[in-house]
Chain A
Amino acid sequence: MKSYLPARFKVERDETRCIMCLACVSQCSYETHYLDEEEGKVMSRDERCVNCHRCVVFCPTRAITIHKNPLEYRDNYNWRAENIEDVIRQAESGGMLLTGMGNDKPYRIYWDHMVLNASQVTNPSIDPLREPMELRTYIGAKPDRLEVDPAIQVVKTKLPPQVPIELPVMFSAMSYGAISLTACETLARAATEMGTLYNTGEGGLHRKLYKYGKNTIVQVASGRFGVHSEYLDAGAMVEIKIGQGAKPGIGGHLPGEKVSAEVSMTRMIPTGTDALSPAPQHDIYSIEDLSQLIFALKEATNYTKPVGVKIAAVHNAAAIASGMVRAGADYIVLDGIRGATGAAPKIIRDNVGIPIEVALAAVDTRLRQEGIRQRASVVIAGGIRNSGDVTKAIALGADAVYIGTAALVAMGCCVCQHCHTGKCPWGIATTDPRLQKRINPEIVSERLANLLRGWSHEIKDMLGGMGINAVESLRGNRLHLRAVGLTETEMKVLGVEQAGA
């Protein structure tokens, strides 16, 4: 069928700069660039370009620029280019539209409508460069009360398992299969270096990565891929995945093309078969069933590690979260509507779920009202872009955040949203052995560690400015947030006052 789709981007090559080194040709896994031998020139097939910037960065003479295709449709607020082109794509294929990364639609980003406080005159701010500042966070259930033996001043209460992280930022679940082994190892190395945790997603744990176990969260999802006792024993925490912000309510599948020999070994399924993750976990149809799986995993790990539960943030997240905590989760994860993915139906990614800020506020409020907030750590995910978002999330009630896209951007990702093709030219969202070599974990993990170092300094600076010297003093401290440009209802849900009021 002839395609009616126009090119999305236009590749512009400055011929006065091009030295015909063909770096762009070898770097582009979409085969956009090619050498036209007759013309003696490097040319581009614009329709293949996804604007990932790989060629732009690797062109030694900076000869390449990529623009949006200036081709215009007649102005129509309702029928914009994306709407028209999505219809064309489906008319030509008859399938669901797949996409990668997080929701790109202009839903309100509440982080951008909340501002933080700082000390002025009436209480002094703290200079984190000179004074100790505590970012360490313990993930795990806290006891309802602590009994201390006054004679010997020792805590008598037996504490549930706690896992310390040196800053309240962890790496989101990204499975081996959705991302490359080298990308997984990069996350593992950076987590180890910075004293935080990365998450296996539901892709199992490759043998090469067992040594990073102390900094690993092992996930148990509906497909149960690669889940066995050694895997459960390997991680610092175990996470039951119920849902994901990018695709609430649906399962997933790793297409057979991506199930290479190595992926097959890690997921423990035959090479080339579809790895299907059913929409529900079929042993969980209720909170009681969830509790059963939580305790099955606690039994399987002899109560030595926190067991958490991750859900997508949905309309009644607060009530569900209450159930999750009561079911025995040591930590809960909420993944908002902007949460990213290696592949999801576009229609789900763009339309299902709620923003993480309101979900977090609602859940934290509900757990406090019920007097059970201490029984589980609250971790949020889905659209955290910088340390400002992290700090606001903690003030809204989170113990820690997961970052996925931000971590990948540190590794080279330009958010081109083509993860689902498996051709990631940055070597991240691919299982192609040739492409994944583009990431050297030793070198790239340094970029990732640097990002966390930078955020760590910034969070300390913001805390110090508020006159706070420990991150846990900010947790749920919504008086340090004020709203700008929100409605009264939104402020009520967020539990945040109008700025200046």
Chain B
Amino acid sequence: MSSLSSVVKVDALGLHYRQLNARLRELVGQGARHIEIQNVYGQRYIGTDLDAPVLIDIYGTPGNDLGAFMDGPSIVVHGNAQDGCGNTMNEGQIVVHGHAGDILGLSMRGGKIFVKEDVGYRVGIHMKEYKEKVPQVVIGGTAQDFLGEYMAGGILVVLGLGLKPGAGHRANFIGTGMHGGMILLRGDVAPHQLGKEVGVAQPNDAEKAKLADLVTEFARQFGMDPVPILSGAPFTKLYPLYLRPYGRLYTP
């Protein structure tokens, strides 16, 4: 532990998540700012209680709730992430060089998540925003049903890069219950795939600029060229038709 300014390596082989996370807390407490974890086999909650701007490289497969309640760290997964990635995340960044599972970004309030390939069900569910805190999620591949369910804020971008030519996204019930934020989809999506609370439009210039920034950042994370992504298939903007979806449900 001579120099904490350099990369600190942790071998997670055989460690329970409680031991691993205790070790991470200890290292961050000692001032470590870049940690590399090897041999990660499903340990949960990595990054949860580390309120510092630490960079964590994960080799292997982190378990559920990666970065849950996370407030600041930056995580790079060299592999796939499981369910609940970025659950109720407040600040920080997660980059996944592979796939991620269900409910990615559930109730996320801030920070960014980039996933190179596909994600599971209910991704971006109940994401919300508050003032300068606008969570941003970019998915390289496609997503399963209920993408952006109950979404209340933030930006959810799905690039559809893995889709075969002529094939569209397969997800149904996209944006069901959506009442805030914005979903930007690249690739075909049919009206029957959308929740009834969702409107369809083309992104305006400001939104296009924001999208270009996010796609450029995404491409940089994974060593891709953003130009063909942005100039290829057009993006569709999905937005909430009602900000008060349940406002007329009750007798006063």
Contact = CB atoms under 8 A, between A and B. Distances in A.
Interface string B63-90: 0110011010000000000011001101
Interface in B233-252: 243-252
A228 B244 contact: no
Interface residues on B, range: 35 or more
Q: Give the interface size class of chain A.
A: 35 or more
B172 interface: no
Contacts of B243: 256, 273-274
Contacts of B125: 282
Interface string B136-164: 00000000000001101100000000000
User: What secondary structure prevails in chain A residues at the interface with B?
Assistant: mixed
A93 B251 contact: yes
Interface string A270-298: 10011010100011000000001001110
Interface string B81-104: 001100110100000000000010
A299 B49 contact: yes
A93 B88 CA distance: 37
Interface in B25-80: 25, 44-45, 48-49, 51, 64-65, 68-69, 71
Contact of B109 (A97, A268, A273): A268
A207 B118 CA distance: 40
A273 B180 contact: yes
**Taking chain B's interface residues, is the majority helix, strand, or loop, or is none over half, making it mixed?**
loop
Interface in A366-400: none
B69 A232 contact: yes
B15 to A, nearest CB: 14
B117 interface: no
A405 interface: no
A253 B177 CA distance: 13
A389 B78 CA distance: 57
B174 interface: no
Contacts of B84: 283, 292
Contacts of B249: 95-96
A95 B130 contact: no
Contacts of B251: 89-90, 92-98
B116 interface: no
A199 interface: no
Interface in A211-229: 222-224, 227-229
Given A95-B251, A256-B247, 7 more contacts: A92-B251, A95-B250, A228-B90, A229-B69, A270-B130, A274-B243, A299-B48
10 contacts: A96-B249, A227-B107, A228-B69, A269-B128, A273-B244, A274-B246, A274-B247, A276-B126, A283-B84, A299-B49
